[in-house]
Structure 1
Amino acid sequence: MSEYEVNESAADAQETTEEAAEAVDTSKSAPADRETAGPFDFAEVPAMRPYVDLGGIKIAPREGLQMRLEVDERAQRVVAVSLEYAESLLQVQAFSAPKSSGMWHQIRRDLTTQLEGQGAEVREEDGVLGAEIVTATAVPADQGGGTRAARFIGVDGPRWILRGILMGKAAVDAETREQVIELFREIVVVRGDLPMPPGDLLPLRVPAGVQPGAQGAGATDA
Protein backbone atom coordinates (compact mmCIF):
# COMPACT_ATOMS: atom_id res chain seq x y z
CA MET A 1 0.00 0.00 0.00
CA SER A 2 1.36 3.43 -0.97
CA GLU A 3 1.76 6.36 1.40
CA TYR A 4 -1.00 8.16 -0.53
CA GLU A 5 -3.40 5.27 0.03
CA VAL A 6 -2.57 5.17 3.75
CA ASN A 7 -3.18 8.92 4.13
CA GLU A 8 -6.40 8.69 2.13
CA SER A 9 -7.68 5.88 4.34
CA ALA A 10 -6.83 7.86 7.45
CA ALA A 11 -8.69 10.88 6.08
CA ASP A 12 -11.73 8.74 5.28
CA ALA A 13 -11.67 7.27 8.80
CA GLN A 14 -11.47 10.75 10.33
CA GLU A 15 -14.38 11.95 8.19
CA THR A 16 -16.47 8.94 9.24
CA THR A 17 -15.66 9.62 12.90
CA GLU A 18 -16.66 13.28 12.55
CA GLU A 19 -19.93 12.32 10.87
CA ALA A 20 -20.68 9.86 13.69
CA ALA A 21 -19.94 12.55 16.26
CA GLU A 22 -22.39 14.87 14.53
CA ALA A 23 -25.13 12.22 14.33
CA VAL A 24 -28.17 13.26 16.31
CA ASP A 25 -29.65 11.04 19.02
CA THR A 26 -33.22 10.28 17.92
CA SER A 27 -34.26 8.51 21.12
CA LYS A 28 -37.09 10.02 23.13
CA SER A 29 -36.12 12.38 25.94
CA ALA A 30 -38.56 12.20 28.84
CA PRO A 31 -38.56 11.49 32.59
CA ALA A 32 -39.11 7.84 33.45
CA ASP A 33 -42.40 8.66 35.20
CA ARG A 34 -43.83 10.83 32.41
CA GLU A 35 -46.94 8.66 31.92
CA THR A 36 -47.95 9.02 35.58
CA ALA A 37 -46.45 12.43 36.51
CA GLY A 38 -46.64 14.30 33.19
CA PRO A 39 -46.57 16.06 30.91
CA PHE A 40 -49.53 13.92 29.91
CA ASP A 41 -51.01 12.67 26.69
CA PHE A 42 -54.76 13.22 26.39
CA ALA A 43 -55.35 9.46 26.69
CA GLU A 44 -53.56 9.35 30.06
CA VAL A 45 -55.79 11.67 32.14
CA PRO A 46 -59.28 11.21 33.63
CA ALA A 47 -62.00 12.72 31.45
CA MET A 48 -63.65 14.47 34.41
CA ARG A 49 -60.59 16.40 35.63
CA PRO A 50 -61.03 20.16 34.98
CA TYR A 51 -58.70 21.85 32.50
CA VAL A 52 -58.58 25.07 30.51
CA ASP A 53 -59.04 23.74 26.97
CA LEU A 54 -56.78 25.47 24.43
CA GLY A 55 -57.08 22.86 21.70
CA GLY A 56 -53.63 21.29 21.30
CA ILE A 57 -52.90 21.61 25.01
CA LYS A 58 -54.91 21.75 28.23
CA ILE A 59 -53.80 23.70 31.28
CA ALA A 60 -54.59 22.61 34.84
CA PRO A 61 -55.98 25.60 36.76
CA ARG A 62 -54.37 26.65 40.02
CA GLU A 63 -54.45 29.63 42.36
CA GLY A 64 -52.13 32.46 41.33
CA LEU A 65 -51.72 31.30 37.72
CA GLN A 66 -52.17 33.90 34.98
CA MET A 67 -52.45 32.75 31.37
CA ARG A 68 -51.79 34.72 28.19
CA LEU A 69 -52.13 33.48 24.62
CA GLU A 70 -49.54 34.68 22.12
CA VAL A 71 -51.10 35.44 18.74
CA ASP A 72 -49.39 35.76 15.36
CA GLU A 73 -51.30 38.75 14.02
CA ARG A 74 -50.35 38.13 10.39
CA ALA A 75 -51.44 34.50 10.44
CA GLN A 76 -54.28 35.21 12.87
CA ARG A 77 -53.54 32.16 14.98
CA VAL A 78 -52.44 31.37 18.52
CA VAL A 79 -48.81 30.23 18.48
CA ALA A 80 -47.89 29.84 22.17
CA VAL A 81 -49.24 29.93 25.71
CA SER A 82 -47.53 32.03 28.37
CA LEU A 83 -48.12 31.13 32.01
CA GLU A 84 -47.23 33.64 34.72
CA TYR A 85 -46.67 31.98 38.07
CA ALA A 86 -44.36 32.35 41.09
CA GLU A 87 -42.63 35.49 39.76
CA SER A 88 -41.81 33.55 36.60
CA LEU A 89 -42.94 33.16 33.02
CA LEU A 90 -43.33 29.77 31.35
CA GLN A 91 -44.02 29.85 27.62
CA VAL A 92 -45.11 26.53 26.12
CA GLN A 93 -45.69 25.08 22.66
CA ALA A 94 -46.59 21.57 21.53
CA PHE A 95 -45.53 20.09 18.20
CA SER A 96 -46.26 16.91 16.28
CA ALA A 97 -43.50 14.29 16.37
CA PRO A 98 -42.74 10.79 15.06
CA LYS A 99 -44.30 7.88 16.89
CA SER A 100 -41.13 5.91 17.61
CA SER A 101 -38.41 8.59 17.80
CA GLY A 102 -37.84 11.83 19.68
CA MET A 103 -37.04 15.39 18.63
CA TRP A 104 -35.71 17.11 21.76
CA HIS A 105 -32.07 16.18 21.13
CA GLN A 106 -32.17 17.70 17.64
CA ILE A 107 -34.09 20.77 18.81
CA ARG A 108 -31.50 21.41 21.54
CA ARG A 109 -28.69 21.29 19.02
CA ASP A 110 -30.52 23.64 16.64
CA LEU A 111 -31.37 26.04 19.49
CA THR A 112 -27.76 26.08 20.69
CA THR A 113 -26.51 26.98 17.21
CA GLN A 114 -29.16 29.67 16.82
CA LEU A 115 -28.63 31.23 20.25
CA GLU A 116 -24.84 31.22 20.01
CA GLY A 117 -25.18 32.88 16.61
CA GLN A 118 -27.15 35.65 18.35
CA GLY A 119 -24.34 36.18 20.85
CA ALA A 120 -25.92 34.43 23.85
CA GLU A 121 -23.95 32.36 26.35
CA VAL A 122 -25.28 28.80 26.15
CA ARG A 123 -24.66 25.73 28.25
CA GLU A 124 -26.45 22.44 28.85
CA GLU A 125 -27.54 21.12 32.25
CA ASP A 126 -29.31 17.99 33.47
CA GLY A 127 -32.69 18.74 35.04
CA VAL A 128 -35.55 16.67 36.39
CA LEU A 129 -37.01 16.40 32.88
CA GLY A 130 -33.70 15.62 31.19
CA ALA A 131 -31.24 17.86 29.37
CA GLU A 132 -31.95 21.60 29.48
CA ILE A 133 -30.44 24.57 27.68
CA VAL A 134 -29.47 27.48 29.92
CA THR A 135 -28.82 30.84 28.28
CA ALA A 136 -27.65 34.29 29.30
CA THR A 137 -28.38 37.13 26.90
CA ALA A 138 -27.00 40.65 27.17
CA VAL A 139 -29.61 43.32 27.95
CA PRO A 140 -29.14 46.68 26.20
CA ALA A 141 -27.98 49.54 28.42
CA ASP A 142 -31.16 51.51 27.73
CA GLN A 143 -33.11 48.57 29.18
CA GLY A 144 -31.05 48.36 32.36
CA GLY A 145 -28.01 46.42 31.15
CA GLY A 146 -26.74 43.14 32.61
CA THR A 147 -27.91 39.77 31.36
CA ARG A 148 -31.23 37.97 31.06
CA ALA A 149 -31.39 34.26 31.88
CA ALA A 150 -33.68 31.69 30.30
CA ARG A 151 -34.04 27.90 30.35
CA PHE A 152 -35.33 25.76 27.51
CA ILE A 153 -36.94 22.46 28.48
CA GLY A 154 -38.55 19.74 26.41
CA VAL A 155 -40.26 16.37 26.75
CA ASP A 156 -40.93 13.84 24.00
CA GLY A 157 -44.33 12.16 24.30
CA PRO A 158 -46.33 9.78 22.07
CA ARG A 159 -46.37 11.53 18.66
CA TRP A 160 -45.73 14.96 20.20
CA ILE A 161 -43.10 17.08 21.89
CA LEU A 162 -43.85 19.74 24.49
CA ARG A 163 -41.34 22.57 24.70
CA GLY A 164 -41.09 25.26 27.35
CA ILE A 165 -39.06 28.39 28.04
CA LEU A 166 -38.56 29.42 31.67
CA MET A 167 -37.88 33.10 32.37
CA GLY A 168 -37.86 35.25 35.45
CA LYS A 169 -37.15 33.80 38.89
CA ALA A 170 -37.54 30.16 37.77
CA ALA A 171 -34.63 30.53 35.37
CA VAL A 172 -32.16 31.22 38.20
CA ASP A 173 -33.71 29.96 41.44
CA ALA A 174 -33.89 26.17 41.95
CA GLU A 175 -36.78 26.21 44.45
CA THR A 176 -38.95 28.39 42.23
CA ARG A 177 -38.01 26.33 39.19
CA GLU A 178 -39.31 23.22 40.92
CA GLN A 179 -42.74 24.88 41.29
CA VAL A 180 -42.87 25.94 37.64
CA ILE A 181 -41.70 22.52 36.43
CA GLU A 182 -44.60 21.05 38.40
CA LEU A 183 -46.90 23.35 36.44
CA PHE A 184 -45.29 22.21 33.18
CA ARG A 185 -45.80 18.57 34.13
CA GLU A 186 -49.53 19.10 34.69
CA ILE A 187 -50.02 20.11 31.04
CA VAL A 188 -52.00 17.73 28.81
CA VAL A 189 -51.12 17.50 25.11
CA VAL A 190 -53.91 16.73 22.64
CA ARG A 191 -52.19 15.42 19.51
CA GLY A 192 -55.32 14.28 17.67
CA ASP A 193 -55.51 11.65 14.95
CA LEU A 194 -54.94 13.79 11.86
CA PRO A 195 -51.67 13.17 10.00
CA MET A 196 -49.15 15.99 10.57
CA PRO A 197 -45.50 16.38 9.55
CA PRO A 198 -43.05 16.22 12.49
CA GLY A 199 -42.42 19.69 13.86
CA ASP A 200 -45.80 21.19 13.02
CA LEU A 201 -47.29 23.32 15.80
CA LEU A 202 -50.37 21.68 17.30
CA PRO A 203 -53.36 23.98 16.72
CA LEU A 204 -54.24 26.23 19.65
CA ARG A 205 -57.43 28.17 20.16
CA VAL A 206 -58.69 30.99 22.34
CA PRO A 207 -61.03 29.64 25.04
CA ALA A 208 -64.55 30.98 25.36
CA GLY A 209 -64.78 34.32 27.12
CA VAL A 210 -61.27 35.55 26.21
CA GLN A 211 -60.89 38.19 23.50
CA PRO A 212 -57.57 38.48 21.60
CA GLY A 213 -55.69 41.71 22.24
CA ALA A 214 -52.91 43.56 20.48
CA GLN A 215 -50.12 41.55 22.05
CA GLY A 216 -51.91 38.29 22.58
CA ALA A 217 -55.17 36.95 23.83
CA GLY A 218 -55.01 38.85 27.06
CA ALA A 219 -54.25 37.60 30.54
CA THR A 220 -56.76 35.66 32.55
CA ASP A 221 -56.76 33.71 35.80
CA ALA A 222 -56.51 30.01 35.05
Structure 2
Amino acid sequence: MIFSRKRAGDGRHARDERAAGVLDSYDAEAAAASSRGPHDISEAPDGVQRLDLGSLHIPAVPGVEVRVQADPQGVIQQVVLVHEENALQLGVFAAPKTEGIWDEVREEIRQSLFADGAAVQEVPGEYGIELRARVRTPDGLTDLRFVGVDGPRWMVRGVYQGAAASDPAAAGPLAACLEGLVVDRGQEAKPVREPLPLRLPREVADQASAAEGDTEESVPREA
Protein backbone atom coordinates (compact mmCIF):
# COMPACT_ATOMS: atom_id res chain seq x y z
CA MET A 1 0.00 0.00 0.00
CA ILE A 2 1.22 3.49 -0.86
CA PHE A 3 0.14 6.57 1.03
CA SER A 4 -0.09 9.87 -0.86
CA ARG A 5 -1.46 13.32 -0.22
CA LYS A 6 -2.69 15.46 -3.11
CA ARG A 7 -1.89 19.15 -2.77
CA ALA A 8 -3.84 21.98 -4.40
CA GLY A 9 -2.46 22.89 -7.79
CA ASP A 10 -0.20 19.84 -7.88
CA GLY A 11 -1.08 17.15 -10.40
CA ARG A 12 1.35 14.71 -8.82
CA HIS A 13 0.67 12.66 -5.69
CA ALA A 14 3.59 13.08 -3.32
CA ARG A 15 4.36 9.71 -1.75
CA ASP A 16 5.26 9.57 1.90
CA GLU A 17 7.81 6.79 2.15
CA ARG A 18 7.62 6.48 5.91
CA ALA A 19 3.87 5.93 5.82
CA ALA A 20 4.31 3.47 2.97
CA GLY A 21 6.89 1.61 5.00
CA VAL A 22 4.41 1.06 7.80
CA LEU A 23 2.03 -0.58 5.34
CA ASP A 24 4.31 -2.69 3.19
CA SER A 25 3.28 -5.90 4.92
CA TYR A 26 -0.08 -7.64 4.70
CA ASP A 27 -1.04 -10.72 6.66
CA ALA A 28 -3.28 -12.41 4.10
CA GLU A 29 -3.97 -15.41 6.32
CA ALA A 30 -5.18 -13.26 9.20
CA ALA A 31 -7.42 -11.27 6.86
CA ALA A 32 -8.87 -14.38 5.25
CA ALA A 33 -9.55 -15.99 8.60
CA SER A 34 -11.54 -13.05 9.89
CA SER A 35 -15.19 -12.46 9.08
CA ARG A 36 -15.96 -9.85 6.47
CA GLY A 37 -16.02 -6.26 7.66
CA PRO A 38 -16.08 -3.32 7.91
CA HIS A 39 -15.50 -4.03 11.59
CA ASP A 40 -16.13 -1.98 14.69
CA ILE A 41 -12.88 -1.36 16.53
CA SER A 42 -14.20 -3.44 19.44
CA GLU A 43 -14.25 -6.47 17.12
CA ALA A 44 -11.27 -5.73 14.88
CA PRO A 45 -9.28 -8.86 13.91
CA ASP A 46 -5.69 -9.03 15.11
CA GLY A 47 -2.66 -9.56 12.90
CA VAL A 48 -3.50 -7.04 10.16
CA GLN A 49 -1.49 -3.85 9.66
CA ARG A 50 -3.62 -0.78 9.10
CA LEU A 51 -3.22 2.92 8.35
CA ASP A 52 -4.77 4.85 11.26
CA LEU A 53 -6.76 7.82 9.93
CA GLY A 54 -8.68 8.38 13.14
CA SER A 55 -12.21 7.08 12.67
CA LEU A 56 -11.09 4.83 9.80
CA HIS A 57 -8.29 2.28 9.97
CA ILE A 58 -7.47 1.07 6.46
CA PRO A 59 -5.88 -2.38 6.02
CA ALA A 60 -2.62 -2.62 4.12
CA VAL A 61 -3.33 -4.35 0.80
CA PRO A 62 -0.56 -4.62 -1.83
CA GLY A 63 -0.98 -2.31 -4.81
CA VAL A 64 -3.60 -0.07 -3.18
CA GLU A 65 -2.73 3.63 -2.90
CA VAL A 66 -4.41 5.83 -0.28
CA ARG A 67 -5.04 9.38 -1.47
CA VAL A 68 -6.40 12.03 0.85
CA GLN A 69 -7.50 15.64 0.86
CA ALA A 70 -6.22 17.24 4.04
CA ASP A 71 -5.85 20.78 5.34
CA PRO A 72 -2.59 22.14 6.82
CA GLN A 73 -3.66 20.92 10.27
CA GLY A 74 -3.97 17.35 9.01
CA VAL A 75 -7.79 17.23 9.05
CA ILE A 76 -8.98 15.00 6.21
CA GLN A 77 -11.96 15.90 4.02
CA GLN A 78 -11.79 12.94 1.62
CA VAL A 79 -10.22 9.49 1.42
CA VAL A 80 -9.87 7.66 -1.90
CA LEU A 81 -8.29 4.24 -2.42
CA VAL A 82 -6.87 3.57 -5.88
CA HIS A 83 -5.86 0.32 -7.55
CA GLU A 84 -4.94 0.48 -11.23
CA GLU A 85 -7.93 2.06 -13.01
CA ASN A 86 -10.37 1.61 -10.13
CA ALA A 87 -11.08 3.91 -7.19
CA LEU A 88 -13.05 3.62 -3.96
CA GLN A 89 -14.03 6.78 -2.09
CA LEU A 90 -14.74 6.21 1.60
CA GLY A 91 -16.82 8.11 4.13
CA VAL A 92 -17.90 7.26 7.68
CA PHE A 93 -20.80 8.83 9.54
CA ALA A 94 -22.49 8.78 12.93
CA ALA A 95 -25.67 6.70 13.20
CA PRO A 96 -28.26 5.94 15.90
CA LYS A 97 -27.83 3.14 18.40
CA THR A 98 -31.03 1.38 17.42
CA GLU A 99 -31.16 1.39 13.62
CA GLY A 100 -29.12 1.73 10.45
CA ILE A 101 -29.35 4.73 8.13
CA TRP A 102 -28.16 3.35 4.78
CA ASP A 103 -31.68 2.76 3.44
CA GLU A 104 -32.61 6.38 4.08
CA VAL A 105 -29.30 7.76 2.81
CA ARG A 106 -29.47 5.59 -0.30
CA GLU A 107 -32.92 6.89 -1.17
CA GLU A 108 -31.75 10.49 -0.83
CA ILE A 109 -28.75 9.81 -3.06
CA ARG A 110 -31.02 8.12 -5.60
CA GLN A 111 -33.42 11.04 -5.70
CA SER A 112 -30.61 13.57 -5.99
CA LEU A 113 -28.95 11.71 -8.86
CA PHE A 114 -32.27 11.23 -10.63
CA ALA A 115 -33.03 14.95 -10.29
CA ASP A 116 -29.69 15.68 -11.96
CA GLY A 117 -30.62 13.49 -14.90
CA ALA A 118 -28.46 10.52 -14.03
CA ALA A 119 -29.50 6.97 -14.84
CA VAL A 120 -29.87 5.20 -11.47
CA GLN A 121 -30.81 1.69 -10.44
CA GLU A 122 -30.90 -0.26 -7.20
CA VAL A 123 -29.30 -3.70 -7.29
CA PRO A 124 -28.56 -6.38 -4.68
CA GLY A 125 -24.95 -6.59 -3.56
CA GLU A 126 -22.75 -8.26 -0.96
CA TYR A 127 -23.77 -5.71 1.67
CA GLY A 128 -27.40 -5.40 0.66
CA ILE A 129 -28.97 -2.98 -1.78
CA GLU A 130 -26.49 -0.85 -3.76
CA LEU A 131 -26.95 2.08 -6.11
CA ARG A 132 -25.47 2.12 -9.58
CA ALA A 133 -25.49 5.35 -11.53
CA ARG A 134 -24.14 6.83 -14.75
CA VAL A 135 -23.36 10.51 -14.32
CA ARG A 136 -22.02 13.24 -16.56
CA THR A 137 -18.61 14.68 -15.68
CA PRO A 138 -16.26 17.04 -17.53
CA ASP A 139 -14.55 13.90 -18.84
CA GLY A 140 -17.78 12.36 -20.12
CA LEU A 141 -20.11 9.71 -18.73
CA THR A 142 -18.86 7.98 -15.59
CA ASP A 143 -20.22 4.92 -13.81
CA LEU A 144 -20.51 5.02 -10.00
CA ARG A 145 -21.49 2.30 -7.53
CA PHE A 146 -22.63 3.31 -4.03
CA VAL A 147 -22.28 0.79 -1.21
CA GLY A 148 -23.46 1.33 2.37
CA VAL A 149 -22.65 -0.68 5.49
CA ASP A 150 -24.46 -0.05 8.79
CA GLY A 151 -22.49 -0.73 11.97
CA PRO A 152 -22.94 -0.03 15.69
CA ARG A 153 -23.57 3.73 15.77
CA TRP A 154 -21.84 4.28 12.43
CA MET A 155 -22.32 3.87 8.70
CA VAL A 156 -19.61 3.44 6.07
CA ARG A 157 -20.34 4.66 2.55
CA GLY A 158 -18.17 3.57 -0.34
CA VAL A 159 -18.32 4.86 -3.91
CA TYR A 160 -16.62 2.75 -6.59
CA GLN A 161 -15.44 4.23 -9.86
CA GLY A 162 -13.89 2.53 -12.87
CA ALA A 163 -14.65 -1.02 -13.97
CA ALA A 164 -15.53 -1.87 -10.34
CA ALA A 165 -18.52 0.48 -10.60
CA SER A 166 -20.33 -1.83 -13.03
CA ASP A 167 -18.61 -5.14 -12.25
CA PRO A 168 -18.11 -5.90 -8.52
CA ALA A 169 -15.74 -8.72 -9.45
CA ALA A 170 -13.32 -6.10 -10.79
CA ALA A 171 -12.99 -4.42 -7.38
CA GLY A 172 -10.35 -6.93 -6.26
CA PRO A 173 -7.98 -5.36 -3.71
CA LEU A 174 -10.34 -2.41 -3.17
CA ALA A 175 -13.06 -4.81 -2.03
CA ALA A 176 -10.49 -6.40 0.30
CA CYS A 177 -9.83 -2.95 1.81
CA LEU A 178 -13.53 -2.41 2.41
CA GLU A 179 -13.90 -5.86 3.95
CA GLY A 180 -10.94 -5.23 6.26
CA LEU A 181 -11.86 -1.68 7.20
CA VAL A 182 -12.06 -0.86 10.92
CA VAL A 183 -14.22 1.97 12.32
CA ASP A 184 -13.32 3.76 15.55
CA ARG A 185 -16.60 5.50 16.36
CA GLY A 186 -15.56 6.90 19.74
CA GLN A 187 -17.91 7.33 22.68
CA GLU A 188 -18.94 10.97 22.34
CA ALA A 189 -22.46 11.85 21.24
CA LYS A 190 -22.73 13.06 17.64
CA PRO A 191 -25.63 14.13 15.43
CA VAL A 192 -26.87 11.40 13.12
CA ARG A 193 -25.10 11.53 9.72
CA GLU A 194 -22.33 13.79 10.96
CA PRO A 195 -19.03 12.72 9.35
CA LEU A 196 -16.75 11.09 11.88
CA PRO A 197 -13.39 12.86 12.23
CA LEU A 198 -10.52 11.78 10.02
CA ARG A 199 -6.91 12.91 10.45
CA LEU A 200 -3.51 12.25 8.99
CA PRO A 201 -1.07 10.13 11.02
CA ARG A 202 0.96 12.47 13.24
CA GLU A 203 4.21 12.03 11.34
CA VAL A 204 2.50 12.85 8.04
CA ALA A 205 0.60 15.81 9.52
CA ASP A 206 3.89 17.25 10.83
CA GLN A 207 5.37 17.11 7.34
CA ALA A 208 2.26 18.73 5.84
CA SER A 209 1.91 21.52 8.42
CA ALA A 210 3.70 24.02 6.19
CA ALA A 211 1.45 23.37 3.19
CA GLU A 212 -1.08 26.06 2.33
CA GLY A 213 -4.73 25.55 1.41
CA ASP A 214 -6.88 22.49 1.01
CA THR A 215 -6.13 19.76 -1.48
CA GLU A 216 -8.02 19.06 -4.69
CA GLU A 217 -10.60 16.38 -5.24
CA SER A 218 -9.31 13.29 -6.98
CA VAL A 219 -12.67 11.71 -7.92
CA PRO A 220 -16.08 13.27 -8.63
CA ARG A 221 -17.95 14.18 -5.48
CA GLU A 222 -21.09 12.13 -5.06
CA ALA A 223 -24.54 13.59 -4.63
TM-score in terms of structure 2 length? 0.72
Q: String of CA shifts for 1:38-69, please: whole Å, max 9, x gaps.
A: 01000001466421100011000121111111
Greater CA radius of gyration, 1 or 2? 1
Any stretches of 5+ residues in structure 1 without a counterpart? 1-34
Q: Give aligned pairs, total.
A: 179
TM-score in terms of structure 1 length? 0.73
Distance across 2 between alignment mates of 1:64 and 1:178: 11
Match of residue 93 from structure 2: 95
CA contact (8 A) 2:60 2:177 kept: no
Q: String of CA shifts for 1:16-36, please: whole Å, max 9, x gaps.
A: xxxxxxxxxxxxxxxxxxx93
Name the SS of the counterpart of 1:36 in structure 2. Answer: coil
Match of residue 154 from structure 2: 160
2:184 matches 1:190? yes
2:215 matches 1:215? yes
RMSD (Å) for aligned C-alpha atoms: 2.5
Q: String of CA shifts for 1:106-136, please: whole Å, max 9, x gaps.
A: 0011001111111111110101111000000
Match of residue 81 from structure 2: 83
Query: By how many angstroms is 1:173 displaced?
Result: 2.8
Describe how 1:122-161 pairs up with structure 2 within 5 A: 122-140=120-138, 143=139, 145=140, 147-161=141-155
Distance across 1 between alignment mates of 2:74 and 2:216: 10
Match of residue 14 from structure 2: none
Describe how 1:1-222 pairs up with structure 2 within 5 A: 36-46=35-45, 49-71=48-70, 77-140=75-138, 143=139, 145=140, 147-210=141-204, 211=208, 214-215=214-215
Distance across 1 between alignment mates of 2:71 and 2:183: 21
Query: By how many angstroms is 1:179 displaced?
Result: 4.1
Query: By how many angstroms is 1:87 displaced?
Result: 2.1
Bigger helix share: 1
Change in CA separation of 1:50 and 1:178 when aligned onto 2, cut-off 3 Å: closer
Query: By how many angstroms is 1:98 displaced?
Result: 0.6
Query: By how many angstroms is 1:139 displaced?
Result: 4.0
Any stretches of 5+ residues in structure 2 without a counterpart? 1-33, 219-223
CA contact (8 A) 1:94 1:160 kept: yes
> Structure 1 runs of 4+ off > 3 angstroms?
46-49
Name the SS of the counterpart of 1:192 in structure 2. Answer: coil
Identity across the alignment (%): 34
CA contact (8 A) 1:86 1:176 kept: no
Q: String of CA shifts for 1:124-175, please: whole Å, max 9, x gaps.
A: 01011110000001345xx3x4x21000000000010000100012112332
Distance across 2 between alignment mates of 1:217 and 1:192: 27
